[in-house]
Amino acid sequence: MITSKADYHHYLERDKVALRIKSNTVITKLTTTLFPNSIWKFQRTMRTLEYYTNCKNSGLGKLYIYYLKYKFRNISIRNGFSIPINVFGPGLCIVHYGTIVINRNAKIGSNCRIHACVNIGASGGNRGAPQIGDNVYIAPGAKIYGNITIANNIAIGANAVVNKSFDQDNIVIGGIPAQQIGEIDIKNIIKHI
């Protein structure tokens, strides 16, 4: 969670690396002006809203938070995201725009790579939501729900339905319901860690 200006800059830098956004060169600025990256715009707005909500939530900062919430909501709708703030650690890589729905009680560690049509939520009226570790790859269509934990360095396969905890690191899980289907070196999938 972002708790200082240093955290804010760290999160932005890690997100840029994850999304393979180059430094602020003249060519990069020109390219992003002509062809804006809507996912980077979403993530940058999300991180700014997190920073102001967590650190600058009084006086004029409170007014700016309302503006950021409005902007964040519009960008979220355009991209098809229903992602609350303070859920993802640094190094988030949303691969494609498209439907992604995440419960506000979920917590996802650093260096998450997530695809479209993913749903991470609570189950059966219970407020408990998934707690997902660092360096986790979530393939398209995965459904992760319930008061469960997912360990570090895990790949979750396409269209998997994960409704139980997986405490072992460096594995691939998939299927309906999800089960371990192999082992993995996550660095082969998440290149920026």
Domain boundaries along the sequence of the chain: 1-81, 99-192
Tens digits of per-residue pLDDT, 61-87? 889 999 999 999 999 999 999 999 999
CA distance 46 to 43: 5
Q: What is the pTM of this model?
A: 0.91
Tens digits of per-residue pLDDT, 87-134? 999 999 999 989 999 999 999 999 999 999 999 999 878 889 999 999
CA distance 30 to 35: 8
Q: DSSP letters along 100-163, please?
A: EEE-TT-EE-SS-EE-SSEEEE--TT-----EE-SS-EE-TT-EEESS-EE-SS-EE-TT-EE-
- DSSP reduced 3-state for 94: strand
Tens digits of per-residue pLDDT, 7-64? 999 999 999 999 998 767 777 777 777 888 899 999 999 999 999 999 988 888 889 9
Q: Please state whether beta strands 113-114 and 81-82 pair in parallel, antiparallel, or not at all (unpaired).
A: unpaired
99-192: what CATH class? mainly beta
